Structures are given as structure tokens and as C-alpha cells.
Amino acid sequence: MTRFLASASLAALLTACASISIAEDVEATAAEVAAMTPASMPQVGDDLLTVYRGLHSNPELSFKESASAAYLADELRALGFNVTEGVGDDWVKAKAMRDEGEVREGVGGYGVVGVLENGDGPTVLIRADSDALPVPEQTGLPFASQVRAETWTGVESGVMHACGHDVHMTSWVGAARNLVARKDEWSGTLVMIIQPAEEIGLGAKAMIDDGLFERFPQPDYNLALHVSAGAPSGTIAYSSGWALANVDSVDITVKGVGGHGAYPHTTVDPVLVASHIVTSVQSLVSRNVNPQTPAVVTVGSFKAGAKHNIVPGEAQLLLTVRSYDDDTRQLLLDGIERIAKGQAAAFGAPEPEVTSESDYTPSTYNDPNLTAKSVAAMRAVLGDEKVVEVEPVMGGEDFSQYSRTDAKIPSLIFWVGAVEPSKYEASKESKLPLPSLHSPFFAPDAAPTIETGVTAMTATALSLFNED
């Protein structure tokens, strides 16, 4: 894609992940980790925590994830994902696997794909996202990010894994290690992918457009996890059916006729027109959408004018629009355009420009059958009380793209609690909320969060490989 920017300053991540020192006050010993591990699962040791801290200290922005991709691709190679197995004398199949089944980098930008065939059975895809956010870190952790970089839109900022993608990648590594170590317990094809640019909603589509499901085995199931900043570590939360929303961005440029503020009768005031648009678009949810159907229309930016006594020539509104089903999405988008043009006409203003991004993030639907199978597997190793169903949210995730292809692949993304339990309990009685995702203060309770993520993902994959 044309949005790639160089990331040479982070090229040392390979070395960092292998050798970063762990501060005494945050180090989890093998014994501590073992105490949190179900007996049926391999333990996550200090080596995996070192991977996490290395990734956390060296974040990379969207479409700049070169060093992270290289490190994780090498992790798969070390696990044997580039070895053709189980094909016998079928040289045609063997050649195809060598051509397309080894670890590949550069898929859809800095995407990584590794394929491991382990006999007959279903194909299971496990995805983790790798990009960080332009957020200066303020956690105070000894391994906090000091990285600064320029976004693909040209803004320089501190960079931080404020959305937990470092946990996602580390859990992905742990799950891959577990599944390779337990190859004699499952049969099928494992596809491990690292996806770039989730934070700007373009990475999944980039990988699909680059032939993810044509160049590599098409999965029977897609799996992913995401940390939760509102649930205690050691727990899993999930939604069956709708899980995350369609995310559309709409820009409205309201045209007017500028002039002196003392003589408004000689102008067509775009501020007045835009103000009526802001008020009227709220009627879409309250009067046009079924009350039992979730929908959100939020005006996040209103820009107009530069001086007290000047009526500007135009005003600009920036909106975020959220929905679950595609019919409601279209109703909201059509309604915004209708209201904007209607209000402008009512005030005698020129027709406004209403544009929405074609690369929107579609809603995420957790296949109910896949969800039920996966929840049963997770509860078997974590306990019923640790795996809870929650309401869907109006946030967005481009993991949804993998199930939106013509193949309609059953998919599941689940939440992994990331809050230290005592802090979670204390927050219930405090007026101060916990740091949210994208906060500069967000610091996951790393060891048990990663442990739970690895355990849940491993158990789910094993259950799908062995469902027959």
C-alpha cells in the first residue's frame, strides 16, 4: 500500500526482545507463573515475559511494524513452521506447501503468515495485531516505551502499546509454542498470522487484498483475542453474535457566505446551519432507529471561523457513526446526508459536501456455534466462573474483515481481563475509573493476563482440531 513509512529507528527490536533486562520489582518468577497455570497447560515462563517487555518497549506505529514482524516471523521459523510434514510421496502437495506453506513476511504490508500442516483435519487461523498508538507512555514502568515516531499522517508523537497489542502478540507466541509442543494431540492445519495496522482499520483488508485466503490455506475457523481494561486478569469475557460495531467516519463541509458579524443579514451563516445539523442528526437514533437496535451518531469535531466578528465561509463537522447490522448502518449514513442537505436548503445555504470513508471498519460477529465450542473448551481449563458472557460494545475491530469474505468463515474474538484483581475490586468503590484502552496510563497485569490468553487460545484451538 502507499501508506507505508520507514521504521529504521526500531530495527533493533530483534535484539531487544532477546536480551532486554527485566527490572527486579516487576519480574515474575517461574514459580509465581506456575501457580497461575492450569495443570493441563504448559507454563508461561520468564522467557515469554521477556518477549512481552521487549515488544512493549519497542512499539511501532501502523504500517511501520517491520521489526516486530521480523521478530515474530523468526519465532515461527524456530518452531518449525517452515518444515513440510505429513505429505509422504505426494511431491505436488509438498511443492505447494514449500511455495506457500512456509513463513511469509510482507503480506499486506508488514503482515506475517506461518502455516503448519499436521495431518488431516480442520484449518484454524489465529491472528494477533502488531501496531501501537501515537500515545506518549505515562505508566512509569521500568520498561516503558521511550519511542517517538511520525504517524503516516505526518504527526510526530510518543508511541505506546496502549491498546494491548504487545499482550496479543505475546499470547500468540505462547499459543504457537504450546500447539507445536502438543502436536501429537491434534490433527489439522494451523495458520498463524500477525496483522499490521489494526488501529487505523486497514491492516486486515490489506492482508486479504494481498491474497491471504488464496495464497495460503483458507481457514475453517478464525480466532483472535483482545485485552480488556475493564475486567480482572485471569478471566475471559465473550459475546455470542454481535460483539463489536460498524465504525464509519463522516465528514460534512457546510458552505455559507461569509461577512461582517455586525451585519449577519448580508451573510449565509454556516455556523448556524451546522449547529442545526448537529442537533438534527441526533433524531436519527431517537426517531428513525428501532429502540431495540443499538446505534450511535456522535459529532466529535466542529470547526468554523477564526475571529469574533467574522461570519466564516464554511464550517466542518466530523462524525463517528456506530451500528451492528448493515441495514442500520445504511439508514444512519443516508439519514446524515439527507439531514445535512435539508438543513442547508432550509437556510438558503449551498448544498454541503457529505463524505464517508470507503475503508470503514465492519462490525464483528462471533459465530454462535464456534463461540459455544470455544467457551466450553476455555471453561474446561479455566473454570466456569472465569469465563463470563458480556454485552457487545460499540467499539470497532478490523478482525471482522476475515469473516466478511465470500467464504463467510466462522470467527470468534474474545476478551482477556488485564486489570490486577485488587485494583479491579478497588475501582468498584472509587469515583476514579480504571485507565481505559488507549490511555497513556494503561498497564496490563502482564503475567496472569498473558497466561490466561495463552491458555484460552491453546484450549480453543485444540478443541477445534479435535472436534470430530
Q: Which three cell numbers stand for residue 313?
A: 465561509
**144-to-28, 32, 132, 133, 468 alpha-carbon distances in Å:** 17, 22, 13, 14, 45
Residues contacting 177, CB < 8 A, separation 6+: 42, 48, 79
210 is annotated as an active-site residue: no
C-alpha triplet 52, 57, 63: angle, nearest 5°:
95
φ/ψ region of 44 (left if φ > 0, alpha if ψ in -120 to 50, else beta) reads: beta
Q: Which three cell numbers stand for residue 240?
A: 455470542
Which residues partner with 355 through β-bridges?
A: 251
> Among 65, 75, 166, 198, which one carries the catalytic annotation?
198
Q: Measure CA of the first residue to CA of the last residue in the chain; give whole Å.
A: 41
> Among 60, 131, 166, 420, which one carries the catalytic annotation?
131
**262-to-23, 99, 172, 222, 315 alpha-carbon distances in Å:** 65, 73, 63, 62, 19
Strands 310-311 and 411-419: unpaired
Which residues partner with 125 through β-bridges?
A: 191, 222
Cα–Cα distance between 129 and 319 in angstroms, integer?
26
Asked if 61 and 132 touch (Cβ cutoff 8 Å), the reply is yes
For residues 173-196, one letter each, b for 16 or more C-beta atoms within 10 angstroms of the residue's C-beta and e for the rest, the string is bbbbbbbbeeeeebbbbbbbbbbb
326 is annotated as an active-site residue: no
Give the chain's length.
Answer: 468
Residues assigned a catalytic role = 131, 198
